Amino acid sequence: MDVMRTRSRRRLFGAAAAASGALVAGTLAVVAASPAQAAACDTVDYAIVSDWGTGHQANVSLTAGTEAVNGWTLEFDLPSGASVQSAWNVDWSQSGTTFTGSDVGWNGAVAAGQTRELFGMVVSGSAAQPESFTLNGTVCGAEEPDDPTTDEPDDPTDDPDDPTDDPDDPTDDPDDPTDDPDPTGCTSGAVCDGFENQTGGTTPGGDWTVGAPDCTGSGTATVDDAVAHSGSQSIRIDGGGTYCNHIFVGHELPADAEWFRFYVRHTTAQPATHTTMIAMQDANDGGADLRMGGQNSALQWNRESDDATLPEQSPNGVSMSRPLPVDTWTCIEFQISGGNLSTWVDGGLVEGLVADGVPTHDIDGQWLNGSGWNPSLVNFRLGWESYGNDADTLWYDDVAFGSQRIGC
């Protein structure tokens, strides 16, 4: 479960629709069902987890009523002029202002009384809340203005076992089987680590080594027992600006490692300058690193040996990637098989972070100029490295790698 919470909560009741307005990042709208619809739909939550003014990222969750949901299609209206740029864990379309999203099979079931995050989306335009939602063709509810005399957005008496209560209650017990399901599932033979065997407040140890090539400075790595994606601990990286203030925590890779999964949470929007958060030494590339990080404020891959990037750093290439949201846990997966590379963010394939062997202008044309690229990766290192003057604080949790896809 997510121990560090940044989203505020509004409770919305009734059937009277309120006018939508732009909201700051961190706002959660809860649209309640009318009694006639509560059997299948209790509430729909539209949580804005990042708002950069011209667009926002939102996560959409459903709390089922007294009946389970087995397969869902959710429909709602976006503000005029808003456009969905990407969405993950959902089969979606947009017609005018109307967004329609359906499950993708594995996420179609919501048990009676259960709260489940269905999908995420990046939207350009105003971060205004939808006024109502339709679930499987039936209106689920509509928004009513907050009542300041009854609303308690941060009520410490919230009950984590009450499905109608706040699903983001920081008092949730990660060891309670009735609480949020454990997201750290691991496939047979994979290496999985949620850092629960580490000692809080110390430098990571065991199978993990701490350091940085060439020089070290102000960068630090510690085991944090105050912030976690699941369980009670994560690795905290305090990375400084400029190259010599970097730091990494590394783990050797088994020979069959092909699929990788990790959760990351960071505090500063990705800068325009080049940064690295994952580095893997490539024995087939003279020991140079294959690096995942950012440039031009979006995720990118970078090959140290020739400085090739994926996607290419043209405006169109960068638009095929996506920014890493701040102050929220993000699941990143990638597969490296032969000379091919694919990347998923929160379960959605990112078009600009795919090298499939066929050159695509603005995406992997430059990458594939390195003919014969077929990495043999030695280690997996997570941390922070800045080639400008950009610092960041990051947390990593639920790291996994193996021969099969682990999933988010």
Q: Is the peptide bond before 311 cis (omega within 30 degrees of 0)?
A: yes
pLDDT score, position 49: 77
> Counting every residue, how long is the chain?
408
Confidence of residue 112 (pLDDT cuts 50, 70, 90): confident
Give the tokens for residue 359: 């050159």
Confidence of residue 308 (pLDDT cuts 50, 70, 90): very high
CATH dotted code for 10-142: 2.60.40.290
Provide the 3-class DSSP secondary structure of residue 356: coil
Q: Which residue has the tokens 């050797």?
A: 252
Question: pLDDT averaged over the chain?
Answer: 81
pLDDT tens digit sequence for 357-403? 999 999 999 999 877 899 999 999 999 999 999 999 999 999 999 99
Dist CA 167 CA 175 (whole Å):
16
pLDDT score, position 64: 84
pLDDT score, position 12: 30
Instruction: Tell me the torsion sign for CA atoms 145, 151, 154, 160.
Output: negative
What CA–CA distances, in Å, run from 327 to 6, 187, 229, 299?
A: 7, 28, 12, 16
Dist CA 328 CA 3 (whole Å):
11
Flag the least confident range among 111-115, 272-276, 329-333, 393-397.
111-115
Residue range(s) of every CATH 2.60.120.200 domain in the chain: 191-402
Confidence of residue 185 (pLDDT cuts 50, 70, 90): low
Please indicate, yes or no, whether the overall pTM of this predicted structure exceeds 0.75. Answer: no
Flag the least confident range among 32-41, 242-251, 304-313.
32-41
Q: Is 7 or 310 the better-scoring residue by pLDDT?
A: 310
Is the pLDDT assigned to residue 193 strictly greater than 90? yes
Percent of the chain with pLDDT over 70: 79
Residue range(s) of every CATH 2.60.40.290 domain in the chain: 10-142
CATH dotted code for 191-402: 2.60.120.200
